[in-house]
Chain A
């Protein structure tokens, strides 16, 4: 079972091979992210969802990361209604050469969702 879903903008992160516990979903831009994608991940049994977007001002499509941020806030709100806590959905800004930062994010997130 995939316990953590990582939705990532292809410009913010290099493709990562999926393993048993993490499912990577590549997006052309974080602005493509839809509430339903996150909900499907939780329906699929995800314990948490991470969204990786480009830094503010660095979006190839100008405002995709800002749109993603707003959708994530909305999704957190509706997830709360079904008893899924805020902490299970995180958004982080990243660029392709920050692999170490991603590893750190993942490590912390795994800890957060298992608490």
Chain B
């Protein structure tokens, strides 16, 4: 899932306080699961903004809403009924959600309430970590299901580097060396021979280097 983190309150306040009536929109998918921008966070943030506005004697009306998915125009259009007098929208969705709202309601300013961090997984309650950078050419078959692009600080394709010590990465002793994990996993699978294979230089044009990406499935288009 996409993992995000709520922005600093002061930053959010400075974005929305020039307005008198705003819509705070949560998203019911990834950001709900990572507690950054679901219905609960919409309630908490709205309450904090109201308290701050009252303290600073600033007139601010807040309309709250949470939709199923902000990255889907079909759901975003449900917000139409809530836009009466709205001067700005504060989205707690990921970057894709914010932009879908911006593309749907072109005449209302939209502000991001969260920082979108990475594609990752829940390690335990309250802990998320990165697992995928969306490089566009998955090589997990070669690395025992552990991604060196996302989990090695240097994104090495043929690791480990000299900075691997006791299974940890030199940039931070709390970070596992991805290549140590790959080695351990392949050993457990009896596939250490895979490490004999040199992974060739990656074609990064499938990643961000190729510019904004798009997938078109003609069979699915209406």
**Chain A interfacial positions (CB closer than 8 Å to B):** 34-36, 39-40, 42-43, 78, 81-84
Contacts and interface: CB of A to CB of B under 8 A. Distances in A.
A40 B54 CA distance: 13
B44 A35 contact: yes
Interface in B34-67: 40, 43-44, 47-48, 50-52, 54-55
Given A81-B9, A81-B10, A82-B9, A39 B51 contact: yes
Nearest to B47: A39
B32 to A, nearest CB: 15
B51 A36 contact: no
The 7 tightest CB contacts between A and B, nearest first, are A39-B47, A81-B9, A82-B52, A82-B51, A36-B43, A82-B48, A35-B44
Interface string B3-22: 00000011000000000000
The SS class assigned to the B binding surface is: helix
A78 B50 contact: no
A36 B52 CA distance: 15
Contact of A78 (B40, B43, B48, B54): B48
A77 to B, nearest CB: 10
Q: Which bracket fits the contact residues of B?
A: 10 to 19
Contacts, number: 33
22 contacts: A34-B40, A36-B40, A39-B43, A39-B44, A39-B47, A39-B51, A40-B47, A42-B47, A43-B47, A43-B50, A43-B51, A43-B54, A78-B9, A78-B44, A78-B48, A81-B9, A82-B48, A82-B51, A82-B52, A82-B55, A83-B55, A84-B51
Interface of B: 9-10, 40, 43-44, 47-48, 50-52, 54-55
Contacts of A78: 9, 44, 48
Contacts of B44: 35-36, 39, 78
B47 A36 contact: yes
Contacts of A82: 9, 48, 51-52, 55
Contacts of B10: 81
Contacts of B55: 82-83
Contacts of A81: 9-10, 48, 52
Given A35-B44, A82-B9, A83-B52, 14 more contacts: A36-B44, A36-B47, A39-B43, A39-B44, A39-B47, A42-B47, A42-B51, A43-B47, A43-B51, A81-B10, A81-B48, A81-B52, A82-B52, A84-B51
Nearest to B12: A81
B58 to A, nearest CB: 12
Contacts of B51: 39, 42-43, 82, 84
Contacts of A42: 47, 51
A76 to B, nearest CB: 13
A42 B44 CA distance: 12
Contacts of B43: 36, 39
